[in-house]
Amino acid sequence: MDKVIELFEKARTDVASEILLVPFAEPRIRTYEGWVPVVNQKLSGQEVNETLHSILNDRQKETLDNEGVVMGSVSLSSGFNINFHIYKHKLGYSGNLKTITIEQNEDVKATIPPAIYEQVLKTKGLVLIAGPSWSGKSTLMGKLIEIINQTQASHVAIVESVIDRIYQMQKSVITSFEVGYSPIANSIWRSLETADVIGLDIPLNVDNFTHALDLVESGKLVIMTVMVESFIALQNRINHLIAEDKREFVYERLAQDLSLFVNQRLVPSLQGNLALAQEIILINESLREPLRVGNAGEVLKRVHAHGEKQGMKTMNKSLLQLFLRKKIDLKQAFLASPNLDELDHLLSQLGG
């Protein structure tokens, strides 16, 4: 356990929350720029095995030996709370160790745009949080759940592939399920029916998406992360997942159930850190019409033309605002843009 604590201590100054241990390689930390060595010394297979075994209890060691994989969480003496995923292979053991955030009951209202804050206080609907890897989707979901925790006496149930935060319950009761990347058991879906608010930080597939819609239609607020990079990419993903003869019914359900779509990404800033670009789409009656027929392009056109007064904005508008505020340069704006022609048109309107 001391070796694990030492590795996380060395990683404290880096933008990292995850350590990868593999035999005959340097321990690596995951940063926004990729995996980088935390120490420039390769660990032998025995050193990796001893390090990983040091955080397991006897039952977890038995599970690892018998099944070849074990997942769980542990609190270390130095204050680190970590989630681990350890698996056995012919070279020994490898593992991912990821820090778990303990929410400090801070008032998160000031960090959330008013349009998002007001929408999440509603009692039902589907909230989709989209973006590529490392765009802060799980972080935003955590903030929205914390808003509910601070303001409502609700039962919140969270289903995550890997638990990465622990909530200090205030007004709400919060239950977490860690499910890995396997299909979610029907018993878990049934247990979610007793909750008021459900957070789903799991892969987007037919089964998970269908269950999310079912939960919304039973009167729940469902907050779900999806790894797509735009509203149009969401439509393309749905078209890929859903058979053509069933899409009309699915889009009808989505148009009825979806209340908020947030698309975000973290863009390298001129200050040397990361700036948050955020697309916000509040699904009103005007937008439900094109959504019913799977016309994501028309949805975005209407948001661009009429949505700003309601607190909505497209990704390109958000990127343009960051550029005008001198947060990011033009190159980064274009690299992050989902529609280069539209961004170029917005700049030309400014004489850019």
CA distances from 56 to 5, 13, 17, 25, 52 (A): 14, 26, 20, 22, 7
Task: Let me know: does 273 contact 240? Beta carbons within 8 Å.
Answer: no
pLDDT value of residue 12: 65
Which ranges constitute the DSSP H helices of 68-177?
114-120, 137-151
The 8-class DSSP code of residue 171 comes to S
pLDDT value at residue 167: 81
Query: Given this model, what pLDDT does residue 74 score?
Result: 80
| Distance linking the first and last C-alpha atoms of the chain | 56
pLDDT value of residue 1 = 72
pLDDT at position 166 is: 76
Q: Which residues of the chain have pLDDT under 70?
A: 12-17, 31-34, 77-79, 101-107, 351-352
**Domains in the chain and their CATH numbers?**
2-99 (3.30.450.90), 109-349 (3.40.50.300)
**How far, in Å, CA of 37 to CA of 10, rounded?**
11
What is the C-alpha separation between 224 and 232, in angstroms, rounded? 17
Q: What is the pLDDT of residues 48-75, one digit of tens each?
A: 999 999 988 888 888 888 888 888 778 7
Nearest CA to 222 out of 115, 105, 119, 102 is that of 119
Distance CA 60, CA 70 (A): 7
